[in-house]
Amino acid sequence: MKEFHPSHIRLLVFDLDSLTVKFDQEAWDKFRQFLGVFADRDFETVLIAESIQASEWNSYANLSVIQSTGTEAFKNNSSLSGENVFRFSEHPDLQIKLATSTKNFAGSIGQTAKNGGLQYQHLYDMLQIFHPSKITAEDLSATLFNLKQNSEQVPLMLGIGGPDECGHSFFVGELIDSLEDQGLLVSSLDLSQVLGTEFQQHDNSGTLSASSFWRSEKIRNWVIEDVLRPYSLGQQVYFENPPENIKDYEICTFPFFLAPEMILLVWGTTLFLPEFEKLIDLRFLLELSVKTAAARLFGLDDRENFDQSFIETYQQKEGKYYADYLTQYDVQNKIDYRINFENFNAFRRKE
């Protein structure tokens, strides 16, 4: 396979007649669960078989069926030949055709690797390969690893912003796991309880005050002056116990320690403010549709068609405040990485 990378794949094609020859009912049930996981990860799926009923698969999102042999479907359906397509087949002749046309494919038969495909022992092992969120986190961590390798003693601070209640901690958790898997030392600050549009303050003239977007100026000063600024200057930072003004908020674990050779992740809704400008090295923005942002804020299932009033309420309040913040501080033009965060299990970098 030429320059194969799982992050480029959007469509998975299964040649059922070759994959399910020895399936009993239990195996079919397991296969259906397998496809369900891919549906949750936002992949489109195509099932190909000579005898298949579309009605049996109606419960799966983004799944279609083609009644055909695998070879005929390959020959007659150009939409199954794009660079974003990955095919599963145990048919030797079809594998050779796929390899000749430099298509991405996998199988378990002995000739698969020789034919130029990805050979697996168990089909379900492919769940580890096609996991968009983990793949994205691994790609990002590889970039960060190279940065630290080149400048081990230079502080590296990552800023992660996004709408209220968007799920920052999920993205942060995946990224920290990937960084630690590479042997990097990582620390973090969760500012979601102390920094956001709900804390906006104005003076009597209507102008935003110096502590705008912060729960309090004392918290702001501790985060900026006592933690981030010293770290950015290459100094060690150590706190045995939480200062009085932050002890009620889970900003970090104590004892808290930072050293230049570590990577620091800082996240919160309105993170890209002037006070962070010269401190954050790389900026990540988690981006959501209005519907998904409203659903997460109100604890709704964004896959369901919930009452439009929730979206309207969001747009009038939290959504408007967040959009105003993005405009006021020109956030969109200062971002290094945009992450499509519509699906926790399938977040990807935006090109």
The range of the structural domain enclosing residue 287 comes to 132-349
CB contact at 8 A, 175 and 140: yes
Report whether pLDDT(199) > 80: yes
Q: Give yes or no: residues 229 and 242 share one domain.
A: yes
Same domain, yes or no: 158 and 96 = no
- For the cut 90, the answer to whether the pLDDT of residue 208 exceeds it is no
Residue 345 falls inside a structural domain: yes
Instruction: Give yes or no for residue 252 having a pLDDT over 70.
Output: yes
Neighbours of 207 (CB within 10 A): 8
Q: What is the pLDDT of residue 186?
A: 96
Domain harbouring 233, CATH code: 3.40.50.300
Q: What is the DSSP string of 306-320?
A: --HHHHHHHHHTHHH
Digit-coded pLDDT (tens) for 70-94: 888 888 887 887 788 999 998 888 8
Query: Quick one: 215 and 154 in the same domain?
Result: yes
SS3 (DSSP) at 319:
helix
pLDDT at 210: 47
Of 99, 129, 159, which residue is a domain's last?
Answer: 129
User: What pLDDT is attached to residue 301?
Assistant: 86
Q: The tokens 């419960």 sit on which residue?
A: 59
User: Looking at residue 161, what is its pLDDT?
Assistant: 97
Q: Is residue 211 pLDDT above 70, yes or no?
A: no
41 Cβ contact list (under 8 Å, min separation 6) = 130, 131, 132, 343, 345, 346
Question: Which domain CATH number covers 48?
Answer: 3.40.50.1000
**Joined tokens for residue 314:** 């969001």
Question: Is 187 within a domain?
Answer: yes
164 lies in the same domain as 112: no
- 299 and 157, same structural domain? yes
262: left (phi over 0), alpha (psi -120 to 50) or beta: beta
With 50 as the cut, is the pLDDT of residue 241 above it? yes
Quick check: is 89 in a domain? yes
Instruction: Give the separation between CA 103 and CA 91, rounded to whole angstroms.
Output: 15
Averaged pLDDT, 280-300: 95
Q: Assign residue 69 a region: left if phi > 0, alpha if psi is -120 to 50, beta otherwise?
A: beta
Using a cut of 0.85, tell me whether the model's pTM lies above it.
Answer: yes
Q: Is the pLDDT of residue 347 over 50?
A: yes
- pLDDT value at 24 more than 60: yes
Domain presence at residue 333: yes
Whether 236 and 119 map to the same domain: the answer is no
C-alpha of 102 from chain center? 28
Domain boundary among 111, 129, 147: 129
Identify which has the larger pLDDT, 261 or 201. Answer: 261
Q: What is the mean pLDDT of residues 304-317?
A: 91
Whole-number pLDDT of residue 203: 46
How high is the pLDDT of residue 1? 58
Q: Say which residues have a Cβ less than 8 Å from residue 195's Cβ, sequence separation at least 6.
A: 213, 214, 215, 268, 269, 270, 271
pLDDT at site 12:
95
C-alpha to C-alpha distance for 209 and 202, rounded to whole angstroms? 5
Nearest to 222 by CA among 261, 177, 254, 260: 254
Question: Does 196 reside within a domain?
Answer: yes
For residue 207, the model assigns a pLDDT of 53
Q: Are residues 155 and 73 in the same domain?
A: no
pLDDT tens-digit series, residues 84-135: 899 999 888 888 888 877 678 898 888 888 888 888 999 999 999 999 999 9
Number of domains into which the chain is organized: 2
pLDDT in tens, 27-69: 999 999 999 999 999 999 999 998 888 888 988 889 999 998 8
Q: Assess contact for 315 and 293: CB atoms under 8 A.
A: no
Element at 126 (helix H, strand E):
helix 126-129
Whether 141 maps to a domain, the answer reads yes
Question: Is 58 among the domain residues?
Answer: yes
Q: Answer yes or no: do 140 and 91 share one domain.
A: no
pLDDT above 60 (res 163): yes
1 within a domain of the structure (yes/no): no
Query: Looking at 129, 155, 188, which one is the last position of a domain?
Result: 129
- Summarised one tens digit per residue, pLDDT across range 168-186 is 999 999 999 999 999 999 9
pLDDT cut 90: percent of the chain above it: 68
**Which tokens in the block code for residue 228?**
């981030």
- 148 shares its domain with 185: yes
pLDDT-based confidence at residue 258 (cuts at 50, 70, 90)? very high
Q: What is the mean pLDDT of residues 261-283?
A: 95
**For the chain, what is the mean pLDDT?**
90
Q: Same structural domain for residues 62 and 188?
A: no
CA–CA–CA angle 32, 38, 41 (5° rounding) = 145
204 with 324, same domain: the answer is: yes
Residues 271, 149 share a domain: yes
